[in-house]
Amino acid sequence: MTQIATVNYLVHKAERQAFELDAGGITGNLISPELAPTQVRVADVRAMAGATGFANDSVGFANFPTQVRSYEGGRDWQQTYDAEISQLLTQEIGAKDVVVFDHTVRVDRADAGRKPARNVHSDYSQHGAEQRLIDILGAEQAAIWAKGRYAFVNVWRPVGAPINSAPLGFILPSSVMAEDWILIDLIYPDRMGQIMGVAANADHQWIYMSTMTPDEVAYFNIYDNQGRASIGHSALDMIENPDVHTIRRSIESRTVVRL
């Protein structure tokens, strides 16, 4: 089964482009480069009978309930959730070590501090990933990890209710050409980073999992130092059931793992 969704691709430019987050010191204020709204066909993995998987497609889906009931305040939930994510990635991708270094709760509401990311991207360039490894582990430990295989893997989960609008979609890496990627600067108030934007290509094959519940997760590869493909992804502007009016809430956790 396929759906029609709208995504915002990046646009090739002669000059370097950037996203500026919390611009002007205002939480949630985003200054964006030019985006190109584009309609795409999206296949539902629930109807694909195991046709995709992390090993070949850089994204996997799992039923993996959590003990966490609220992602508000304190560290107790983070300690519990970090342990669950470590278990998930050990079980699903064979991670030997897992460092969970960030959680972002996104709410699809105009006044939310973090809204769904409505641009087609992957979170790191090679340089951005190598620098982030040093930021997280320190130069000495990062050098040790870099001698072996490591990867940045994100884990995404609905919060509170099944996803009815703005689900997370992915482009199968086999349908992405090298020239589709665009290096984009990421400007935070306190640091700089680099991500990879994606330009439109009619050959892109988009997938998602319909009506994901808070018991389900998507885990996907952002960067692998031994070449597993980074996966382009974005919130999809689409609605599953127009009679349902729940707001999309989700939590995205970022990890670096040793494989």
Q: What are phi and psi of 129, to 5 degrees?
A: -65, -45
Count of C-beta atoms within a 10 Å radius of residue 15: 6
Domain boundaries, the chain: 2-258
Assessment of whether the complete model's pTM goes beyond 0.75: yes
pLDDT for res 27: 73
Give the separation between CA 9 and CA 134, rounded to whole angstroms.
30
pLDDT for res 48: 86
pLDDT for res 78: 95
Query: Can you give the C-alpha Rg of the chain in angstroms?
Result: 17
Nearest to 249 by CA among 169, 165, 118, 159: 159
C-alpha distances (whole Å) from 245 to each of 108, 161, 162, 240 are: 12, 11, 11, 10
* DSSP character at residue 230: P
Residue 131's H or E segment, with its range, is helix 126-137
C-alpha distances (whole Å) from 122 to each of 52, 105, 136, 177, 184 are: 19, 18, 19, 14, 10
What's the start-to-end Cα distance of the chain, in Å?
A: 34
pLDDT by 10s per residue, the chain, length 259: 789 999 999 999 999 998 887 767 777 677 889 999 999 999 999 998 777 899 999 999 999 999 999 998 777 899 999 999 999 999 999 999 999 999 999 999 998 888 999 999 999 999 999 999 999 999 999 999 999 999 999 999 999 999 999 999 999 999 999 999 999 998 888 778 889 999 999 999 999 999 999 999 999 999 999 999 999 999 999 999 999 999 999 999 999 999 9
